[in-house]
Amino acid sequence: MATLDRITSDPHVLNGQPVIRGMRISVRRVLQMLAVYPDWKQLQAEFPELELEDVQQALEYAALNVPDEVLARDAA
């Protein structure tokens, strides 16, 4: 099981959304930034407060929270 010690949730920070280390950077925002800045050096230059482990845990958190289910296809 993953240790997500950098992901926090506090009702007083971004309405309880999961955030990185209590900062006002949500997991969702990190994922959005990865789409814009797929190169780690670009992302780090734009958001120097983020560490590589923050990004890795955001990705892991997202993966753990997306349902992994198989949907049956209708027979044609």
Answer whether residue 73 is part of any domain: no
3-state secondary structure of 64: helix
Answer whether residue 71 is part of any domain: no
Q: Tell the burial category of 8 from Cβ atoms under 10 Å away from its Cβ (0-12, 13-18, 19+).
A: middle
Number of structural domains (the chain) is 1
Answer whether residue 70 is part of any domain: no
Give 10-67 pLDDT, tens digit per residue: 999 999 999 999 999 999 999 999 999 988 899 999 899 999 999 999 999 999 998 8
Answer whether residue 41 is part of any domain: yes
> pTM score, two decimals?
0.82
